[in-house]
Structure 1
């Protein structure tokens, strides 16, 4: 039998246990986040970045989910009209939203994460009529497709640089790709991943007739926004740490590359 070489009084044991328990309670109360925290995220539809019908709710949601998981947190994503998303995050009804560009106006109302991914606009073209460009003068005498609901600063810049360019406006991206396939326009500029997704989903039998020039026309650094609060500050820090961890393992680029492989098409269509 093991015998202790010093006397232990019951009161001493009770006092020590009580101190330990109080210390643990104090630590939990003072910490803004605890293990297995669930982060509530509000988003709208924007496939293939975000879609309720896609695997992992789209490539951007997949990246965000893995970044939070790397920090030991769970994620709950709800799809809402985009007009309500900002209101709900600012009021704290939701913790965060995905894919926002930082502006001075938004910084007054929200906290921003590090850059999650870079969106790129590129020129899509028919493979029988390639458009390769490095400067605006390379666009001379080209006819482009566009949307009535969008603005195109690059088009104005090309004209200012002396390029004789034209643009035909329609209502949908699908109409522009149809015109591109029939070679009624020379090129159509839009977000690369969104364009690839539209071709996969709506022009599957002819998507191989279309390619794009990799030189970006515009880029957008997309981030998460968080509620301005102590909880929002802690979540922002936790997300940034998780994002760095998965970036170091090259997982972000793997998921972005998988858009071209059709991974984020609607589940029923894969």
Structure 2
């Protein structure tokens, strides 16, 4: 009887402790469906899942991923309801609310266009004549995000932006190259050749894990994650995980 009571109390503590999201794991990291980088159905939750889990494991932490739409990821993290969120691109505007981890390798961010559109550009200002799908809440590049002269159509996901492109409702979509290619292969498996990823990319973006400053103990978690990340970089594990994404 005493043992059953103790077990019940421990389960309740796991649910209530620190306002975590009813999980009994050590840490809760909010993320999104963003294949091939991270996904709830990917083996080990994908490249980002493997990096985050392994870096924390080297400091003795267990991780549970909470998959949400990106706007809700940011909301939960802003209110300190999760221990960390990511992957994120570096953005100084977020640094008053979050501490950024050391970077780990990401991929090229750029523009998708219909192949027969023959769109080309040298600078962002050259894009002012086009309608560009941009996911609301995403950090892209300072030039794209701050440009008030661009005709930006805000969407809720990369997949919606690509759908609008295929239906000729926008001219361009801002997206990670690997994410866009993955979505096109799933959504339009026989029409992938109709879409180009334009050169040059807007940027080659490293990825970060973000820790809410309002969350007690976030400084130690940041140190633990960065230490695990350095260890993975030193022993080649990080490069091994990244190579699975391809080039």
Return the TM-score normalized by structure 2.
0.62
* 1:178 counterpart = 2:163: no
Q: 1:155 to 1:43 in 2, by over 3 A?
A: closer
Aligned residue for 1:42, secondary structure, equals strand
* 1:222 counterpart = 2:188: no
Structure 1 partner of 2:101:
113
Aligned residue for 1:216, secondary structure, equals coil
Question: Partners in 1 of 2:218 and 2:44 — Cα distance?
Answer: 23
Question: Partners in 2 of 1:148 and 1:71 — Cα distance?
Answer: 34
* 1:200 counterpart = 2:191: no
* 1:210 counterpart = 2:195: yes
Alpha-carbon distance, 1:199 to partner: 0.8
In the TM superposition, 1:62-77 aligns within 5 A as 62-77=50-65
Question: Partners in 1 of 2:89 and 2:246 — Cα distance?
Answer: 24
Structure 2 partner of 1:26:
none
Question: Partners in 2 of 1:58 and 1:132 — Cα distance?
Answer: 33
In the TM superposition, 1:245-256 aligns within 5 A as 245-248=231-234, 251-252=237-238, 255-256=241-242
Question: Partners in 1 of 2:100 and 2:135 — Cα distance?
Answer: 31
* 1:40 counterpart = 2:33: no
Q: Is the 8 A contact 1:47 1:197 kept in 2?
A: no
Q: Is the 8 A contact 1:123 1:131 kept in 2?
A: no
Question: Partners in 2 of 1:52 and 1:223 — Cα distance?
Answer: 19
In structure 2, runs of 5+ residues without a counterpart are 1-24
Deviation >6 Å, runs of 4+ = none
Alpha-carbon distance, 1:243 to partner: 1.3
In structure 1, runs of 5+ residues without a counterpart are 1-37, 160-165, 262-270
Return the TM-score normalized by structure 1.
0.57
Q: Is the 8 A contact 1:139 1:158 kept in 2?
A: no
Alpha-carbon distance, 1:244 to partner: 2.1
Alpha-carbon distance, 1:240 to partner: 1.0
* 1:85 aligns with one of 76, 80, 92: 76
